[in-house]
């Protein structure tokens, strides 16, 4: 009975892509840890484990590798915090380093490297009306030479006042429509509005050597009725582009693009009109916007809770007022 139950859980907890169905790298590691111990005990006792279960376990190991960033910490998606998974990965079979390009579907994680650039996109699926879900999808994480520039806010301890804010769309690198995010939280764990996303099955290798992926998002939040947001993420060795196309219902809306900066990043306006300089240690990024001109760009103070201890961080807010559609590309050019 115990063997049957544990095998059932491995198949039910992890999707065929290997990603935990709750879409949390932290809980993914916890569950994988228990699955590892079960399989070790089953082998010691001579118990039979179906091949499909071992295959699903191997996929889960690969998924944890895919969630490991170049700085050695995990991505923080939904209720999760950053940790170093290397000790756990060392104890697991099939723990080869992640491929340069990964898309976990179902699951909703897309990550790629190109030269010194690393980018990941949170296109995770809705996990339930009472779950570990966070709003603010289509949200990128961007590192250059192992240093974060765009970051996820993560998740504080559940009993801290920051926890409800971490779940809101407004604390992510996402889109607001008339001030409303793509999800609406109720209480600590409830949701009565959420996003629906479709993402490419794989990264595209472009003729110029860059890599790109696209995701399309809608939401059942009332303010998003009729809104379709398509984001294309492109990276090469020293530049990343985020191209956003928003189509609506024929009415005019206020669109706000949000960019969560890593706590270590210092942001200041550049010498050219519309230019921003982002500095992380000895690495710098020049951020510019192309296409539809913003009506206002500013900085907002939030907090980053990736490591459970919340730290001050900044969020760049880019406002486009009373637009029927939106066509804009954010270019991030890196240098040291």
Same domain, 88 and 177: no
* 3 state SS of 207: coil
Same domain, 151 and 39: no
pLDDT digits (tens, 9 = 90+) for 126-185: 888 888 899 999 999 999 999 999 999 988 888 888 888 889 999 999 999 999 999 999
pLDDT confidence band for 97 (50 / 70 / 90): low
Q: What pLDDT, on the 0 to 100 scale, is given for residue 126? A: 85
What is the share, in percent, of the chain residues with pLDDT greater than 90? 80
Domain count, the chain: 2
Same domain, 207 and 306: yes
Same domain, 69 and 105: no
> Last residue of some domain: 73, 95, 117?
95
Q: What pLDDT, on the 0 to 100 scale, is given for residue 95? A: 64
Q: What pLDDT, on the 0 to 100 scale, is given for residue 163? A: 86
Same domain, 80 and 173: no
Question: In sequence order, what E strands does the chain have?
Answer: 101-104, 109-114, 117-122, 139-144, 147-150, 175-177, 184-186, 190-193, 195-199, 204-205, 211-219, 228-235, 239-247, 253-260, 266-269, 276-280, 283-291, 296-304, 311-323, 325-335
pLDDT digits (tens, 9 = 90+) for 206-239: 999 999 999 999 999 999 999 999 999 999 999 9
> Last residue of some domain: 66, 95, 124?
95
pLDDT digits (tens, 9 = 90+) for 65-92: 999 999 999 999 999 989 999 999 999 8
What is the share, in percent, of the chain residues with pLDDT greater than 70? 98
Packing angle between helix 2-13 and helix 51-66, nearest 10 degrees?
Answer: 40
Same domain, 85 and 137: no
pLDDT digits (tens, 9 = 90+) for 308-318: 689 999 999 99
* CATH classification of the domain holding 190: 2.70.98.70
What average pLDDT does the structure give for the chain?
93
> Last residue of some domain: 95, 123, 147?
95
pLDDT digits (tens, 9 = 90+) for 13-58: 999 999 999 899 999 999 999 999 999 999 999 889 999 999 999 9
- Domain range for 48 is 1-95
Same domain, 128 and 271: yes
Most confident of 93-107, 115-129, 185-199, 286-300: 286-300
Same domain, 135 and 87: no
Say if residue 99's pLDDT is above 80: no
Are 318 and 289 in contact by the 8 Å Cβ rule? The answer is yes
Q: What pLDDT, on the 0 to 100 scale, is given for residue 129? A: 86
């Amino acid at each position: 009975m115990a063997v049957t139950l544990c095998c059932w859980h491995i198949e039910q907890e992890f999707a065929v892509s290997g990603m935990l169905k709750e879409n949390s790298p932290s809980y993914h590691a916890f569950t994988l840890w228990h699955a590892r111990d079960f399989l070790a005990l089953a082998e010691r006792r001579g118990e039979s484990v179906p091949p499909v279960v071992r295959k699903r376990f191997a996929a889960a190991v690969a998924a944890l590798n895919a969630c490991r960033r170049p700085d050695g910490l995990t991505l923080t998606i939904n209720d999760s915090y950053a940790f170093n998974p290397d000790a756990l990965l060392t104890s697991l079979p099939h723990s080869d380093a992640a491929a340069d390009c990964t898309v976990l579907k179902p699951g909703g994680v897309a990550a790629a490297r190109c030269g010194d650039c690393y980018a990941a996109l949170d296109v995770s699926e809705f996990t339930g009306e009472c779950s570990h879900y966070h709003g603010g999808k289509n949200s990128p994480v961007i590192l250059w030479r192992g240093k974060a520039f765009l970051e996820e806010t993560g998740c504080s301890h559940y009993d801290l006042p920051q926890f409800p804010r971490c779940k809101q769309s407004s604390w992510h690198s996402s889109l607001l429509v008339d001030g409303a995010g793509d999800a609406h939280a109720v209480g600590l764990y409830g949701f009565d509005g959420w996003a629906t996303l479709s993402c490419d099955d794989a990264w595209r290798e472009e003729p110029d050597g860059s890599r790109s992926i696209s995701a399309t998002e809608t939401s059942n939040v009332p303010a998003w009725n009729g809104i379709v947001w398509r984001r294309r993420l492109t990276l090469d060795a020293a530049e990343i582009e985020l191209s956003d196309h928003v189509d609506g219902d024929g009415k005019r809306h206020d669109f706000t693009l949000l960019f969560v900066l890593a706590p270590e990043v210092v942001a200041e306006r550049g010498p050219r009109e519309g230019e921003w300089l982002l500095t992380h240690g000895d690495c710098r990024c020049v951020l510019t916007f192309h296409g539809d001109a913003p009506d206002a760009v500013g900085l907002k103070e939030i907090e980053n809770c990736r490591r459970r201890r919340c730290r001050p961080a900044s969020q760049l807010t880019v406002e486009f007022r009373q637009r029927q559609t939106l066509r804009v590309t954010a270019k991030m050019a890196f240098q040291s």
